[in-house]
Amino acid sequence: MDTHQTFHRFYWWLQEIIAPNLRYCQEVYEDMLRDSVTSETRWLDLGCGHNVLPPWRADEEKRLAAMPERIVGLDYDMPSLRTHQAIEALVRGDVSTLPFRGDAFTLVTANMVFEHLREPETQLEEIKRVMEPGGELVFLTPNCAGYTTILGRLVPEFLKARVVHFFHGRIEGDVFPTFYRMNSPSRVHRAAERSGLIVEEIRLIPSAAQFIKIPPLVIFELIWIRLTMTRWLRALRTNLIVRCRKPGRGPA
C-alpha cells in the first residue's frame, strides 16, 4: 500500500468517527444535477474543464451526459477541452460573451466556476440570455466565509499553484485566478436580482477535509467541519450550491 492510500484510509476511518454524516460537496452537486437532467434537457455546462464531475466519477459522468437531449460544454482553456471525455460538443468561449443564441438552453450548470468571475452581475445577464424562460441555473462554488476560502486567500499568488498541487495534485495550468465576488448568500441574491434571475435555493454545505496529507492537522480540521454541520455555525460551511430560475413560462 502506497503513502497516498495510507493517508486516505486513515482519513476515512477518522471521518467515520468525527463526522460520520459528512458528504463530499461534489456528491451533493451530482445529486442535484441528476434531479435536474431529463431526456428533454438542453444543457450547457460552463467552465466544463477536463470533466463535469470528479475524475473518479467518470463512468457516472458519461451516463449523466448521455441523458439530456443535448449537452454542450464551454471553457476558455483549450488544453482542458482537449482532454474532456464525456461531452462531445465542446466550445472554447468566454462566459461574458457566450457564442449561443438566446433561449438556447433549459439548464445551465457550473462546477467551481463562479469564484473566478470578474463581473458576476454582467456575466449572469449573459447566462440568463441563453436560458429558456423557466430554465434553471445550478452551480457549486466556495463560500467566502468558509475556512478553505479564507486560508486560500492568504496564500500568495506565486505559491498558490504549488500549494494546490501538493494537496490536490493539480498541475499549474489548472490553477486560475479567483475573485470571490459572488460567494455568499447575500452576494448571490444581489447579483441575481440585478441580472433578473430568481433565486430558488441556496444550500450552505460542508465538504470533505482538505488536509488529508497532514494527519495531525486533519483531526482538527474534521472537528471544525463537524462544528459547522450544526445549525449555529452553518454560515461558515465551505460551499454553496445555488439554484436559480429565469422568469417566464417554460419547464418547471
Distance CA 152, CA 94 (A): 25
In percent, how much of the chain has pLDDT > 70? 93
What mean pLDDT is predicted for residues 182-189? Answer: 97
Is residue 38 in a domain?
yes
**For residues 18 and 5, which has the higher predicted lDDT (pLDDT)?**
18
Is residue 4 in a domain?
no
Mean of pLDDT over the chain: 92
Residue 2, pLDDT score = 67
What mean pLDDT is predicted for residues 182-197? Answer: 96
Residue 176, pLDDT score = 78
**Lowest-confidence pick of 81-85, 160-164, 180-184:** 160-164
DSSP code string of 183-202: -SHHHHHHHHHHHTPEEEEE
Q: With a cut of 50, say whether residue 220 has pLDDT above it.
A: yes
Burial class (CB in 10 A: 0-12, 13-18, 19+), 67: middle
Residue 159, pLDDT score = 77
Cβ-contact 229, 21 below 8 angstroms: yes
Is residue 219 in a domain?
no
Residue 171, pLDDT score = 66
Residue with cell 468525527: 18
DSSP code string of 42-98: EEEEET-TT-SS-GGGHHHHHHHHTSSSEEEEEES-HHHHHH--S-SEEEE-BTTB-
Is residue 237 in a domain?
yes
Q: With a cut of 60, say whether residue 1 has pLDDT above it.
A: no
pLDDT in tens, 79-104: 999 999 999 999 999 999 999 999 99
pLDDT in tens, 61-73: 999 999 999 999 9
pLDDT in tens, 167-177: 766 666 667 78
Side chain identity, residue 213: K
pLDDT band at 5 (very low <50, low <70, confident <90, very high): confident
Is residue 199 in a domain?
yes
Domains in the chain: how many in total? 1
Distance CA 252, CA 249 (A): 8
Is residue 160 in a domain?
no
Other CB atoms closer than 10 Å to residue 12's CB: what's the count? 11
CA-angle at 219, arms to 214 and 152, nearest 5°: 60
Distance CA 63, CA 65 (A): 5
What mean pLDDT is predicted for residues 19-31? Answer: 97
According to DSSP, residue 130 is labeled: T
Domain that residue 50 falls in: 22-145+178-213+233-245
CA 225 to chain centre: 19
Q: What is the CATH number of the domain that holds 139?
A: 3.40.50.150
pLDDT band at 157 (very low <50, low <70, confident <90, very high): confident
Cell of 4: 497516498
Residue 12, pLDDT score = 95
Cβ-contact 170, 77 below 8 angstroms: no
* pTM score, whole prediction: 0.93
Distance CA 28, CA 42 (A): 22
Is residue 63 in a domain?
yes
Distance CA 198, CA 30 (A): 22
